[in-house]
Structures are given as structure tokens and as C-alpha cells.
Amino acid sequence: MRLPPVFLITHSPRQTQILGEKIAARLQPGDILLLHGDLGAGKTELVRGLAVGLGAPPDAVSSPTFALVHEYPTRIPLIHVDLYRLPVMEAEFILELEEYWQRPVVVVIEWAERLGEELPEDYLDITLTWTEDQERSLEIRGAGRRGKELAEVCEA
């Protein structure tokens, strides 16, 4: 059964982080989050909330200074992938990602549209859109059983 998406508005970076913390409280090893949205949409703010919710200090996440993948040593290890600099997916990297799907970690991917067809079965999908200076709209969809459970967490 396909559930309708969850729509949310946040009115500050902190509110977007708080959504991340709320999701983090329910994350399990193996969960995957795919983030979409232009530069400045708030993807990294959401990742900051996830990391804090999983036990990282707030300054652990900065807008990526890393090339592709950064791992935070959180309660459940958080793998933060940013595909901005990788417009075309390389076969080698696709294999690396598929290995993450199998590990007891949480994976969050910015610019997930660049995955193309290489999608896992279960994931939470969040598209962030700039609406005003401090306001963002979020469209949240869950795929598979876990994705749907996590989408419900966002709704409550």
C-alpha cells in the first residue's frame, strides 16, 4: 500500500535539526535516508539533527568538507554521503554504497537523486524546498516497511 507523503514546514534551522533528532530517536541499524533539495535547502541541517540525536556533539557535522563519505562514531554509526560533487555515479562507488546497505549503520545521502536507479528497498525520502529566508517545506515519503515506519515518526 502506498501512503500519502507527509508535508511539514520548519521555521528555523533549529526546527529542521529537531526533526532530525526526532527521526534519530527511532533509527535502527540498516536504516537509509535519502535527501533531496537545492544548495541551502537544509539537508545538512537535517543531518546535524540526526547526528546529535544519535549522540554526536552539535559541531560534529559541518557542511561537508569531506569529498564523498564521512562516518560519525555515533550510537549507531552514521554514514553521511554527499553526492554533490559526483554528478555521475561511478560503478566502484555504487558497489561501496551497496556494502553500506548491508552494514549495521545508518546511511544518509545528500543529493540522492544522483543515485539514479541504484536504490535500496527500504528508505525514508525527504525533499527540502526553500520557501522563505528561515522557512523550508519538507515532503517526506517512506519506501518499504522501514521507510513507512520512519515517515510515520515524522508525522506524529
CB of 63 to ligand ADP, least distance (A): 4
Regarding 137 and contact with ligand ADP (CB under 6 A), the answer is no
CB of 118 to ligand ADP, least distance (A): 21
Contact track, ligand ADP, 43-82, x by CB under 6 A: xxx-----------------x-------------------
CA distance linking residue 103 with residue 29, whole number of Å: 8
Q: Which amino acid is at 69?
A: V
Regarding 134 and contact with ligand ADP (CB under 6 A), the answer is yes
Q: Which amino acid is at 146?
A: R
Interaction partner, residue 20 (Mg ion, ligand ADP, none; CB < 5-8 Å by kind): none
User: Under a CB-based contact definition with an 8 Å cutoff, are residues 5 and 31 in contact?
Assistant: no
CA distance linking residue 151 with residue 140, whole number of Å: 6
Interaction partner, residue 62 (Mg ion, ligand ADP, none; CB < 5-8 Å by kind): none
Provide the H-helix boundaries in 5-156: 13-24, 43-53, 91-102, 144-155
DSSP 8-state symbol, 3: P
Helix then strand count (H, E) for the chain reads 4, 7
CB of 44 to Mg ion, least distance (A): 3
Number of shown-chain residues binding ligand ADP (CB under 6 A): 19
Summarize as ranges the residues that interact with ligand ADP (CB under 6 A).
10-13, 15-16, 37, 39-45, 63, 110, 134-136
